[in-house]
Amino acid sequence: MVKQYFMPTRVILGEDSVKNNPSVFSEMGKKALIVTGRSSAKKNGSLDDVTEVLSKNGQEWSVFDRVMANPSVECVYEGASFARSEKVDFVIAIGGGSPMDAAKAINLLACQDIPRDRLFSGNYGAEILPMIFVPTTAGTGSEVTPYSILTDHGEETKISIASPILFPKVAFLDAKYMDNLPRDITVNTAIDALSHAVEGMLSVRANPMTDAIASESIRMISSCFDALKKFQLTRNDRGKLLYASTLAGMVIANTGTTAVHSMGYSLTYYKDIDHGRANGLLLAEFLKFIERHRPDKVEQILACMGMKKTDEFKDLFDELLGEKERLTLDEINMYTEKAMPKKNIRNSIAVPGKEDVLNIYKASLG
């Protein structure tokens, strides 16, 4: 297994960074496909900023705004067909994890003929259009990862496409697009980012470079917990959460995620629990499981949060998550069966067996 740090995406950051860097867009080609969700990019000003730049540059664009939360395989094939018909030169993704992840798959499928049964094979050609990503939530880190997570209704789960060709060329980070993000999205995405940094440190592929970046990400997010609890976030706090989520993305781009993600997918698929929240519901018990095998690593993570015990971590998450969803024993058994074959479950420094997964579900949501 190669331990490495590779992150070829150029990250440009700061207020109005989109509008201040028109040449980044003009270099990409004549016509853009803008992939976004149904409404948020229109409300938070990000779509306007992007189209203003394209317009001033004399560039054309088409908008594919039919990406739903947890985008499906069907959705990305539809987007790819649209991209082909519009003959675009590059792709711009604007939004949270759903539009960003969808944009990567749409791009791949627009450039390469990949039948559905080979979509998750990992074997792709090199053809891809250059991509510019503008995240408008601070969680997924998709702007700096080679992953596209899709919902596969055939398999009743989420599943990922991973390839170095899916790294965006450029990511713009501007916290102003997050000024009016509601509480639940703000908290859930912050938890998602924290989960990435924590899982990255618990990955078998973790290394001193990714650990360094993950540690800082955890510190930055932790400095916002009080503001998150009260939901009184300054622009500065929003910035910290955004930069921390990108740092966490740089981590998982190299380490992958772990059992928390494998186990969370069923919570999202069957219970419609937001992805970040799903991770958050499982994280404390996963940390306790790891602690029994690698207390040193858990101690390191807790130290970045200013904590000494996993119980403090659990208390914090109980407060952030509020009343928790509950699962029946049947559901827990079924979700355990779904989680066990996932690749990322074998990606942590201590691999949970079936009994362990069952117990983490039970202790978290039983």
CA distance 143 to 321: 26
**Residues 211, 268, 120: CA angle, nearest 5 degrees:** 70
Span interacting with a copy of itself, options 1-9, 128-136, 197-205, 352-360, rule CB under 8 A: 1-9
141: left (phi over 0), alpha (psi -120 to 50) or beta: left
Residue 82 exposure: Cα atoms within 13 Å on the Cβ side:
21
Given 96, 239, 249, 256, the residue binding a copy of itself (CB under 8 A): 239
Q: Does 190 bind a copy of itself (CB under 8 A)?
A: no
- 143 close to 100: Cβ distance less than 8 angstroms: yes
Given 86, 89, 216, 299, the residue binding a copy of itself (CB under 8 A): 216
Q: Does 72 bind a copy of itself (CB under 8 A)?
A: no
Nearer to a copy of itself, 99 or 239 (CB): 239
Pairing of strands 131-135, 147-152: unpaired
Span interacting with a copy of itself, options 32-40, 81-89, 237-245, 341-349, rule CB under 8 A: 237-245
Given 73, 213, 252, 283, the residue binding a copy of itself (CB under 8 A): 213
- Cβ neighbours for 327, distance < 8 A, ≥ 6 positions apart: 271, 335, 361, 365, 366
Q: Closest distance between a copy of itself and the C-beta of residue 13, in Å? A: 5
State the residue for tokens 């519901």: 281
Q: Does 10 bind a copy of itself (CB under 8 A)?
A: yes
Q: Does 206 bind a copy of itself (CB under 8 A)?
A: no
Q: Closest distance between a copy of itself and the C-beta of residue 33, in Å? A: 24
Given 58, 115, 182, 208, the residue binding a copy of itself (CB under 8 A): 208
Burial status of residue 86 (CB atoms within 10 A of its CB: 0-12, 13-18, 19 or more): middle
Span interacting with a copy of itself, options 17-25, 38-46, 48-56, 115-123, rule CB under 8 A: 17-25
Q: Does 13 bind a copy of itself (CB under 8 A)?
A: yes
Q: Does 215 bind a copy of itself (CB under 8 A)?
A: yes
Given 247, 251, 252, 281, the residue binding a copy of itself (CB under 8 A): 247
- Cβ neighbours for 119, distance < 8 A, ≥ 6 positions apart: 73, 105, 109, 161
Nearer to a copy of itself, 11 or 67 (CB): 11
Torsion of CA 168, 170, 171, 172, to 10 degrees: -160
Q: Does 11 bind a copy of itself (CB under 8 A)?
A: yes
Span interacting with a copy of itself, options 121-129, 204-212, 343-351, 353-361, rule CB under 8 A: 204-212
Q: Closest distance between a copy of itself and the C-beta of residue 6, in Å? A: 4
Count CB-CB contacts under 10 A for residue 165. Answer: 16
CA distance 301 to 255: 16
Given 107, 142, 148, 246, the residue binding a copy of itself (CB under 8 A): 246
Q: Extract the tokens encoding 243.
A: 């930069």
Count, residues near a copy of itself per rule CB under 8 A = 30
Span interacting with a copy of itself, options 66-74, 88-96, 203-211, 318-326, rule CB under 8 A: 203-211
Residue 304 exposure: Cα atoms within 13 Å on the Cβ side:
21
Q: Closest distance between a copy of itself and the C-beta of residue 10, in Å? A: 4
Nearer to a copy of itself, 21 or 112 (CB): 21
CA distance 258 to 357: 12
- Secondary structure E strands in 205-296: none
- Angle, nearest 10°, between helix axes 73-86 and 97-111? 60
Q: Closest distance between a copy of itself and the C-beta of residue 206, in Å? A: 11
Q: Does 2 bind a copy of itself (CB under 8 A)?
A: yes
How many residues are present in the chain? 366
Binding positions for a copy of itself, rule: CB under 8 A: 2-14, 17, 20-21, 207-209, 212-213, 215-217, 220, 239-240, 243, 246-247
